[in-house]
Amino acid sequence: MEGLTDRLIEEARRLGFDGAGVADVRPSDHVDFYRAWLEEGHHGEMGYLARPDAVERRADLERTLEGIRSAVVVAQNYYLEDPDGIPDDPSRAVIARYARGRDYHAVIEERLERLLAWIRAEAAGPVEGRAYVDTGPILERELAQRAGLGWFGKNTMLIDPRRGSYLFLGILLLDLELRPSGEEVGDHCGTCARCIEACPTDALLGRNDEGAPVMNARRCISYLTIEHRGPIPRQLRPLIGNRVYGCDICQEVCPWNVKFAEPTDEPAYASRPELDGPTLIALAHRLLGMGENEFLREYADSAISRGRRKGLLRNVCLGLGNWLAGTEEPPEEAVGVLVRALNEDRPLV
């Protein structure tokens, strides 16, 4: 339909998305790199990424939605400014910005469903569509690049030249033919390597021969503090510092974020007070005072629930250990919290 792509983008912005576009749905140009990345074991324990059926669906979206013709890509800014002194104060817990407010999955999926309803009304006919927000075997950043929303940075993030990389992405697969919204954005990282140099654990490996950015998730602080369920390797523990859930270092140093990132105006992503730079001691007391079920109820609408109570408590204890290792006179309360944690019935803690 004439002009539908432009009107769709306007409607997406009216619904609260900061960016939107339409991508073509030809088979993936990056699936060979993705398979090689898996073969290297860079995905760590995230076995769901390597399931053969999921890999094939990432390669060809027709396997996910029969008759697919277009993909709508939306982006939403989630940048938050850190409280004063965070993360430079080793006694404070640093939680990645994306996890401080409401769970973005629910926020974006609800708006994608509203956008789908609008598309069906505009098309005046049956339209099959499926919404995904990190919930399906889709190479979201490739589609976002095709839609003209940004490029793959060396930090493996999608970088929007107007907003930086603090972006949530959502995908709407459609069996409706739509005009692609723009040309793919080329690489604008140039010779900059600030993200690679800043990563404490050397998780970023630079670009491969084909120009794709490579990350070893097994060394990434976000992976280690969220997806990794076992003990964190001893040699990596001091490098994590006081980051107890996720990590933003490779985004914080990116010149595109330094220059263009602006705090989100989305109320849903505003920080919960207890997740906005709490002391390690206070967060440890809070976690030790609740069970797993209470934790899941308390944070049911927060992305932080993915790490579970035992995982977050493991990370907080590690942060306390790193803090105490750097001080000559350890605070008695901090030592007491760690002693209390020894009584946990979870071997991981």
Q: What is the pLDDT of residues 259-295, one digit of tens each?
A: 999 999 999 999 999 999 999 999 999 999 999 999 9
For residue 205, give its domain range: 1-80+98-271
Biggest alpha carbon distance in the chain? Answer: 71
Backbone angles phi and psi of 20, in degrees to 5: -155, 150
The answer to whether residue 39 scores a pLDDT higher than 70 is yes
Q: What percent of the chain has pLDDT over 70?
A: 98
Q: Are 115 and 15 in contact (CB under 8 A)?
A: yes
Q: CA quadruple 266, 79, 88, 344: dihedral positive or negative?
A: positive
Question: What is the band of 53 on the pLDDT scale with cuts at 50, 70, 90?
Answer: very high
In 3D, which of 204, 200, 213, 209 has the Cα closest to residue 243?
Answer: 200
The answer to whether residue 118 scores a pLDDT higher than 80 is yes
The answer to whether residue 1 scores a pLDDT higher than 70 is no
Q: What is the pLDDT of residues 240-261, one digit of tens each?
A: 999 999 999 999 999 999 999 9
The answer to whether residue 347 scores a pLDDT higher than 80 is no
Strand partners, 171: 73, 132
Q: Does any domain span residue 86?
A: no
Q: Does any domain span residue 317?
A: no
Residue 19: the pLDDT is 97
Q: What is the pLDDT of residues 179-227, one digit of tens each?
A: 999 888 899 999 999 999 999 999 999 999 888 899 999 999 999 999 9
Burial 276-296 (b: 16+ CB within 10 A, else e): bbbbbbbbbbbbbeeeeeebe
Q: What percent of the chain has pLDDT over 90?
A: 87
What is the residue-wise DSSP string for 226-278? II--SPPPGGGHHHHTTEEE---HHHHT-HHHHHH------GGGSPPGGGSS-
Contacts of 254 by beta carbon, 8 Å cutoff, 6+ apart: 153, 155, 157, 159, 164, 165, 194, 195
Backbone angles phi and psi of 217, in degrees to 5: -60, -25
The answer to whether residue 345 scores a pLDDT higher than 90 is no
Strand partners, 21: 73
Q: Does any domain span residue 85?
A: no
Q: Does any domain span residue 345?
A: no
Q: What is the pLDDT of residues 300-326, one digit of tens each?
A: 999 999 989 999 999 999 999 999 998
* Cα–Cα dist 96/103, whole Å: 13
Q: Are strands 151-152 and 129-132 parallel, antiparallel or unpaired?
A: unpaired
Residue 308: the pLDDT is 92
Backbone angles phi and psi of 324, in degrees to 5: -65, -30
Residue 240: the pLDDT is 98
Question: What is the band of 113 on the pLDDT scale with cuts at 50, 70, 90?
Answer: very high
* Cα–Cα dist 105/195, whole Å: 26
* Cα–Cα dist 46/215, whole Å: 14
Residues with catalytic roles: 134
Q: Domains in the chain: how many in total?
A: 1
Q: Does any domain span residue 92?
A: no
SS3 174: strand
Q: What is the pLDDT of residues 9-36, one digit of tens each?
A: 999 999 999 999 999 999 999 999 999 9
SS3 118: helix
Q: What is the pTM of this model?
A: 0.94
* Cα–Cα dist 77/18, whole Å: 6
The answer to whether residue 349 scores a pLDDT higher than 80 is no
The lowest-confidence range among 8-12, 96-100, 118-122, 337-341 is 337-341
Average pLDDT in the chain = 94
